[in-house]
Amino acid sequence: LAWFERLVSEHPSEEGWKVFVFTHAPPIGSGLRVLQENHVVNGCCWLNHSGGKNGDPRTTTKFIELVRRHRCIKAWFSGHFHLGQDYQDSITFPTIPREEGPYPNRGSCVFAQTSVMRAGTSRDTRQQSRLLRGNKDGFEICTVNHAAGGTVRLDATITYTDSNHEVGVYAHDHAELDHDSFMKVYSPSEGDECYVGYDGDGDGVSIDPTDGCQVDEETVAWWHMSDGRVLGVYDGRLIEYEPSTLAPLGLVVGYDELQGKKVVVVGSGVPDECVASTASVSQAVGMEGADCAEFEGEEQAVLLVDEETGGITVVQPNEDGSYWRKIVRNKMVRMKEKRRVQAGRAYAEAAFDGSPDAFEGRVVSSWGPYTSIVGTAVKTGVAGLTTQAENVAKAEQRWQSLGSEEQGRAWAATGSQLADAFNKVDADGNGSISHAELAAAIKVVDPASTAEEVATMVAVADEDEDGEVTLSEFVMLMLYQRGPALAK
């Protein structure tokens, strides 16, 4: 990054320099078509998507800032997304007609998506490459179609108007995008119909982005938070977008946790002068989204509301204020981890009689703070918290396995036996059973129970959540093999 910044600084457009860039992934803000369910949710969509080596989010937008600042950068080609070149947004121009939307501020650079030559690595069956042809007036971007014998199609003509500007023109229409065989995507843009603003008559911090409806795969909405962050619902997911480019940053809540719930934003702190309803939006070149950079803004809480169960999940931001979840490690990091596991297995095979067949154990990894070792982030639910209902159901099954209906009827007939059983568990005789005492009793009766299962079973038993299980709670539990709250 430092080398690139130095290079473009030393080759200004005013001296006639024209820089063409070729990278595997594009920079954020390029405006190219991207599938959110793939690279976006994994934090490996853009150059330095996860903040580079030091995890600094400022390096994610550094490349597009350099493009805006240095007009010598004329074209940028990338191929990371494995999508074809027939989409209009497989090429994006520095400027667009004002009637089509706001100025995107991509400097003097044309961004071009490059497809793949082999069918097995294509996401949309297309096998294409780019051909770049220069001339005295500018350059042409073409498509080479490998599935059709290498035929060449002109896609766009770019003409230099002066050292700091260029004009691009598409060479053909894109009516074929109406076909179902094309990947459909949505990215927010200023002024589109999916934007949800704050009610001028409201408190300026509360908003109902899903309009009182439960989220499904058809829900599309996006909005600004008071601190300038941008969130949106699309394809059954809650996504965070980069404020200055509106490009997707990453997955906040997956469909497993979001489906069937409402999304509500409410105020949660002391009002500040920089709230979403009153903050002006800067149009200064290079300063988009920076209006509230020095302000915390009025605090807000993003809530997932389950009207069926009455449960509410608070979506807490990360320590740096962002919301998107770093669930899956960077692909290059995962490759290194795989090699370490292979080295561990090689050691084990050599240590156990020197034969691979002799080793019957397992080689596992310990890592932290990530929650998944798979290559694609799918779920965001946290066991015991946002997926508590599943754990409670398992706890009920555990309780039912500890006592039959016949045993329950017998205890009901002789209440003294229940009291005796309670007193045996109540080791210190204080009239209530602590979580530790009940957990110990469960382990005696059912040694196969895991620590997590025992903890959930104890939580089911403790109706008032005071940390103690009373005789009445114990009776309800043993008679019905379920927690009092659930019995209601």
* 168-190 residue pLDDT tens: 787 777 544 555 555 566 778 77
Pairwise pLDDT comparison (485 vs 216), residue with the higher score: 216
The predicted structure's pLDDT at residue 180: 52
DSSP codes, 198-250: PPTTS-SS-B-TTTT----TT--EEEE-TTS-EEEEETTEEEEE-TTT--EEE
Instruction: Look at residue 71 and tell me whether its pLDDT is greater than 70.
Output: yes
Pairwise pLDDT comparison (5 vs 281), residue with the higher score: 5
Q: Residue 297's pLDDT band (boundaries 50, 70, 90)?
A: low
DSSP helix/strand/coil, 262 = strand
CB distance 153 to 133 below 8 Å: no
Mean pLDDT across the stretch 351-361?
67
Strand arrangement, sheet containing 262-267: 262-267, 300-306, 311-315
CB distance 147 to 154 below 8 Å: no
Short-list 50, 46, 90, CA closest to 64: 46
DSSP helix/strand/coil, 341 = helix
Q: How far is CA 373 from the centre of its chain?
A: 15
Residue-averaged pLDDT of the chain: 76
The predicted structure's pLDDT at residue 397: 58
Lowest average pLDDT, out of 226-230, 309-313, 381-385, goes to 381-385
Q: What is the tens place of the pLDDT at every residue in 444-456?
A: 666 677 776 777 7
Instruction: Look at residue 298 and tell me whether its pLDDT is greater than 70.
Output: yes
CA–CA separation, 73 vs 109, rounded Å? 6
CA–CA separation, 427 vs 227, rounded Å? 53
Short-list 481, 456, 340, 342, CA closest to 395: 456
ω into 369 cis (within 30 of 0): yes
The predicted structure's pLDDT at residue 213: 80
CA–CA separation, 424 vs 421, rounded Å? 5
Question: How large a percentage of the chain has pLDDT more than 70?
Answer: 68
Pairwise pLDDT comparison (385 vs 158), residue with the higher score: 158
383-407 burial code (b ≥16 CB/10 A, e <16): eeebebeebbeebbebbeebbeeee
Mean pLDDT across the stretch 190-206?
80
Q: What is the tens place of the pLDDT at every residue in 258-279?
A: 888 899 998 886 444 444 544 4
Pairwise pLDDT comparison (415 vs 467), residue with the higher score: 467
Q: Residue 328's pLDDT band (boundaries 50, 70, 90)?
A: low
β pairing state of 138-145 and 165-170: unpaired
Which amino acid does the sequence have at 153?
R
CA–CA separation, 362 vs 373, rounded Å? 16
